[in-house]
Copies of this chain bind each other. A is one copy, B any other.
């Protein structure tokens, strides 16, 4: 008997009909002889609607109350899903994050999981029931308050439960067939990846592939959880995200995929004195805002001025906060001026095989050059190369790179729409 954790996003439980459809799939999994734990997000746009309601009341809602409000969403979907399963003759019990033992720190809106004690979930399984758990939410022991895990929190809930329950697999249901070599809406010939390492998946997720959230992949890698990303609209095999052990030999393709991200902006700090400790000082200021900065590039200083420029990328939503923090500390940091550019696109090429394959960068740069696309920033890791281009060239960039590395498949991928969260 296998233990399977299944996670269904908001689009999979958008209305009563969808809930009944998902319930059927869950019951089939149970009847096939598996123990089943289901993690569910709020229905459709419920979370957005609740946020709207809060904004109507006050633009400055406190984190504690916002979490109290938003957790109502999963409470509704999980109760309805449990009812739907029971109406098919299978026992089911729904649990809030708190009841499922998802203990977090007290950071409202972006809480981190500190402990997972799914005693009641385990007991429900032992009693032959299907356990339905609210995604996205947890509980802080110190304050006794309800917390939420932030964006992609339901994926994290599913992975954390899979780890704590030692599940055989954690299935992430979405509205596409799996992880693709590129976004099928941009590259219609993109291929579904059957198998990918969590390390590569992490790089793809960090590079903007929205199918899985970084935190969930990180958690899965750290705890050795196997993920299976698949569609809730068919029974096709999706993409397995695996954690090869040291001894295990994995035949890896050189390149797994290409991801693009248009959600970032670039800040350039102009005229930074080129003295030791200056970069540390500046990034301490940036870090104080809790912004998630990504690529950092420092130009070589010209000997004449003793000044240099530092550029970095960050989510557009953090732009204002970071600019303000830098302006407020301008005198102390001693730079000349700030430039803000929100018209950038980021392309990332990911593949564990590039570790041992020289020439990947050269091939990437050549493909972009031949398409007339200018590269503004470059950053690399062991299994990833990222470049920043103008936003309006990013889709063309993805297509030429995808082709250059022979990633195109024979068929045109099926896309159901939505972002697959």
Q: Is the CB of A83 within 8 A of B71?
A: no
**Which residues in B have their C-beta under 8 angstroms from that of A99?**
144
**Which residues in B have their C-beta under 8 angstroms from that of A20?**
57
Task: Using known A-B contacts A20-B57, A58-B86, A87-B58, determine if residue A93 contacts B79 with beta carbons closer than 8 Å.
Answer: no
Q: How far is the CA of A367 from the CA of B4 in the complex (A)?
A: 73
Beyond A72-B72, A75-B75, A99-B144, 15 additional contacts (C-beta under 8 Å) are A16-B53, A16-B56, A16-B57, A19-B57, A50-B76, A53-B76, A54-B79, A57-B83, A60-B86, A60-B87, A62-B86, A65-B79, A65-B94, A68-B78, A69-B83
Interface residues of A in 218-262 (CB under 8 A from B): none
Q: Is the CB of A76 within 8 A of B72?
A: yes
* Distance from A58 Cβ to chain B, minimum over Cβ atoms (Å): 4
Q: Is the CB of B86 within 8 A of A80?
A: no
Q: How far is the CA of A164 from the CA of B42 in the complex (A)?
A: 35
Pick the most buried of A54, A68, A71, A87: most chain B CB atoms within 10 A of its CB. Answer: A68
Q: How far is the CA of A53 from the CA of B73 in the complex (A)?
A: 13
25 CB-based A-B contacts, threshold 8 Å? A16-B53, A16-B57, A19-B57, A54-B80, A57-B80, A58-B84, A60-B87, A61-B83, A61-B87, A62-B82, A62-B83, A64-B93, A65-B79, A65-B82, A65-B92, A68-B75, A68-B79, A68-B94, A68-B96, A69-B75, A69-B83, A71-B75, A75-B75, A99-B144, A120-B144
Q: Is the CB of A58 within 8 A of B83?
A: yes
Q: How far is the CA of A56 from the CA of B43 in the complex (A)?
A: 14
Q: Is the CB of A87 within 8 A of B57?
A: yes
Q: Is the CB of A53 within 8 A of B65?
A: no
**Which residues in B have their C-beta under 8 angstroms from that of A307?**
none
Interface: A373 (CB within 8 A): no
* Distance from A137 Cβ to chain B, minimum over Cβ atoms (Å): 11
1/0 per residue, CB under 8 A from B, across A247-290: the answer is 00000000000000000000000000000000000000000000
Interface: A66 (CB within 8 A): yes
Q: How far is the CA of A79 from the CA of B94 in the complex (A)?
A: 22
Q: How far is the CA of A82 from the CA of B87 in the complex (A)?
A: 37
Q: How far is the CA of A86 from the CA of B62 in the complex (A)?
A: 8
Q: How far is the CA of A57 from the CA of B78 in the complex (A)?
A: 12
Q: Is the CB of A75 within 8 A of B78?
A: no
Task: Using known A-B contacts A79-B66, A120-B144, determine if residue A84 contacts B57 with beta carbons closer than 8 Å.
Answer: yes
* Distance from A322 Cβ to chain B, minimum over Cβ atoms (Å): 27
* Distance from A312 Cβ to chain B, minimum over Cβ atoms (Å): 35
**Which residues in B have their C-beta under 8 angstroms from that of A61?**
83, 86-87
**Which residues in B have their C-beta under 8 angstroms from that of A19?**
57
* Distance from A45 Cβ to chain B, minimum over Cβ atoms (Å): 15
Pick the most buried of A60, A72, A120: most chain B CB atoms within 10 A of its CB. Answer: A72
Q: How far is the CA of A109 from the CA of B53 in the complex (A)?
A: 28
Pick the most buried of A65, A69, A144: most chain B CB atoms within 10 A of its CB. Answer: A65
Q: Is the CB of A80 within 8 A of B72?
A: no
Q: How far is the CA of A62 from the CA of B79 in the complex (A)?
A: 10
Q: Is the CB of A68 within 8 A of B82?
A: yes
* Distance from A149 Cβ to chain B, minimum over Cβ atoms (Å): 17
Q: How far is the CA of A399 from the CA of B62 in the complex (A)?
A: 52
* Distance from A92 Cβ to chain B, minimum over Cβ atoms (Å): 8
* Distance from A175 Cβ to chain B, minimum over Cβ atoms (Å): 21
Interface residues of A in 31-64 (CB under 8 A from B): 50, 53-54, 56-58, 60-62, 64
Q: How far is the CA of A170 from the CA of B57 in the complex (A)?
A: 26
Q: How far is the CA of A80 from the CA of B60 in the complex (A)?
A: 11
